[in-house]
Structure 1
Amino acid sequence: MNGRRAQAARNDQVILEAARAVFVADPGAPISAVAERAGVGISALYRRYAGKEDLLRRLCSDGLDRYIAEAEAALTGEDDPWDAFAGFVRRVVETDNHSLVINLAGTFAPGEDLHRASAHANELTIRIFERARDAGVLRPGLAVADVAMVFEQIACLRLGDEARTAEIRDRYLTLVLDGLRLPSADPLPGPPPSVEEVNRRWRFE
């Protein structure tokens, strides 16, 4: 990139990081709060994004891109099925993408590009899950939708500063992973969440 384009890319990244922090804390916050946190004028923000929904779609698109990259890495690596599965789960938790899911689902209308990316992410997750399941390293009764719920449960954990939050999430993720890796355990009670139940939250009315 030339100097101007590089600066524009840096400014855009600052805006996205500010938007993530603002909307994870308060999904109902106005777009002006993003401009204030990013240290840019509201006109500069509107030159990049038509409005709040446009910015939310970009945030979720970037999150899906990171998720897909981690899933592809898990599938192309040489780790055994359990290490690939557990490593993937840990890396996704570390990216904290699901803080966006639990805070932004249903607050805007996803575009067709987000639906396609979400479907691709789900396909990759199914492949990772099925490889671990077929290798016999997962407890009986699990479904791929359970993995999505685990991500969201861990994302709900927030204590103090970022370092402490990372510690507490790592603690409970370790407990969850131990629970997932129990091939001789009793089947889980009740059915797993259906695709319709998981997707219902993204309906915007």
Structure 2
Amino acid sequence: MSETAKPPVRKGLPGRRAEAARNDGIILAAAREVFLADPGAPIAAVAERAGVGIGALYRRYASKEVLLRTLCLDGLRRYNTEAEAALNNPDDWQALVEFLYRVVDADVHSLTVRLAGTFTPSDEFAPEVRRSGELNERILSRAKQSGRLREGVTIADLGLILESCAAVNLPDAERTSVLRHRVLALVIDGLATTGELPGPPPQPGEFAHRWRAASRT
């Protein structure tokens, strides 16, 4: 697992709550490794990777779907955290660049590429999705104000870029990170150039069908 994919440390929690938070982080980290490698893996594989009993895992997550949902919701929240951090950059163009690097390093789009359609998103996702939309708009608007963003680039285009970087995946995590940065550097040059883009941009909701759960194991 890369450094960026480690579960967040929750500070200041007392006793049992702190232990529960640590255990939860261990389970989610194990679930990420297991399900990104094989979305069809059984929940028992997560328990084994996390080093916990299957009963303990089921007490926290009632089913594989609940675990997948929690894992992806955690990824969406991480996306929003990285976007908010990038917006602190006072340079309008660099805020976009920083955002792209932060999200690629957080590797949240691997969850989209591998796990979309394996569960049904719950109502908990709605406020985070709205928040990500607001943050995306702010980042793109500032990039346009900088005068450096290529004409016609949309928020959906940024999503395609991030998913393309997530598709670079080698057994060596460090090499994967280097190659993802290489791809991103090439793409950023393309974002700052001129010239008409081929075809219309991705349309709103064009990729939403992926999140409608198909048959689940």
Scaled to the shorter chain, the TM-score interval is: over 0.9
Distance 1:168 1:56 in 2: 28
C-alpha deviation, 1:135, in angstroms: 2.3
Q: Identify, as 1 or 2, the structure richer in helix.
A: 1
Q: Name the % identity.
A: 55
2:145 paired with 1:116? no
2:191 paired with 1:180? yes
2:29 paired with 1:17? yes
2:73 paired with 1:61? yes
C-alpha deviation, 1:145, in angstroms: 0.3
Counterpart in 2 of 1:189? 198
The 5 Å alignment of 1:1-205 reads 1-75=13-87, 77-182=88-193, 185-205=194-214
- 2:212 match: secondary structure: coil
Distance 1:20 1:33 in 2: 11
- Which structure 1 residue ranges, 5 or more long, are not aligned? none
- 2:124 match: secondary structure: helix
Task: Output the amino acid matched with 2:201.
Answer: P
Distance 2:109 2:119 in 1: 16
C-alpha deviation, 1:59, in angstroms: 0.7
CA contact (8 A) 1:159 1:168 kept: no
Task: Output the amino acid matched with 1:186.
Answer: G
Residue 160 and residue 78 in structure 1: after superposition, are their counterparts in 2 closer, same or farther (change >3 A)?
closer
- Which structure 2 residue ranges, 5 or more long, are not aligned? 1-12
Task: Output the amino acid matched with 1:34.
Answer: V
Q: Deviations over 1:152-199 (max 9, x none)?
A: 0000101231111111111111111111111xx111000111122121
Q: With structure 1 as the length reference, what TM-score do the two structures score?
A: 0.94
C-alpha deviation, 1:134, in angstroms: 2.7
Counterpart in 1 of 2:10? none
Task: Output the amino acid matched with 2:195.
Answer: D
Q: With structure 2 as the length reference, what TM-score do the two structures score?
A: 0.89
Question: What is the Cα-based RMSD across aligned positions, in Å?
Answer: 1.2
C-alpha deviation, 1:112, in angstroms: 1.1
C-alpha deviation, 1:78, in angstroms: 4.0
C-alpha deviation, 1:114, in angstroms: 0.9
- 1:138 match: secondary structure: coil
Q: Quick check: 112-121 or 157-166, which moved more? A: 112-121
Q: Kindly tell me the number of residue pairs found equivalent between the two proteins.
A: 202
CA contact (8 A) 1:18 1:37 kept: yes
Task: Output the amino acid matched with 1:203.
Answer: R
Distance 2:90 2:176 in 1: 28
C-alpha deviation, 1:139, in angstroms: 0.8
Distance 1:148 1:180 in 2: 13
Distance 1:181 1:161 in 2: 31
